Amino acid sequence: MSITGECFCGAIEYEVTGSLRDPLSCHCSRCRKAFSSQSSNYARVESANFRWVSGKELLTSYVGKHGFGLLFCSVCGSTLAGTLDKAIHGVTLGCLNEDPSMEEIHHIFVASKADWEVVPDGVTQFPEGRRDIERRS
């Protein structure tokens, strides 16, 4: 299977073959800022299964501590993908064009959520992180 994603302005497109895994929505204060939202929504991909289809030259990046970075469209500001030590590590779910038909999203660091956020009933929540998933590479 293959799935595509693109930024808000459409200049940057990518394609992932194979499945997305370990989908997480992290509600910590750092992810709120990094994703400009109430939480991150992100899933892992194999870097070998990922390719930029168009607009790669328009990407800009921010690499934080521990070598984890985010790739953005320099035109519209969409956050498209995450990197670890410069290799593609995962994609943001908001920029996907199709249903990724992946496993259920786990909501982590819910104990750190913003005061204004209401987490829906029925989602799988963890008050802190899930080290078993975060350490898997």
- Residues at the interface with Zn ion (CB under 5 A): 7, 9, 11, 26, 28, 31, 73, 75-76
* Residue 48 vs 123, nearer CB to Zn ion: 123
Q: Using CA atoms, how far apart are residues 12 and 59, in angstroms rounded to an integer?
A: 8
Q: Output the smallest distance, CB 8 to Zn ion, in A.
A: 5
* Residue 3 vs 7, nearer CB to Zn ion: 7
DSSP class per residue in 48-99: GGEEEEE-GGGEEEEE-GGGEEEEEETTT--EEEEEETTEEEEEEGGGBSS-
- For residue 124, list its beta bridge partners: 106
Q: Output the smallest distance, CB 51 to Zn ion, in A.
A: 17
Q: Output the smallest distance, CB 135 to Zn ion, in A.
A: 15
* Residue 75 vs 102, nearer CB to Zn ion: 75
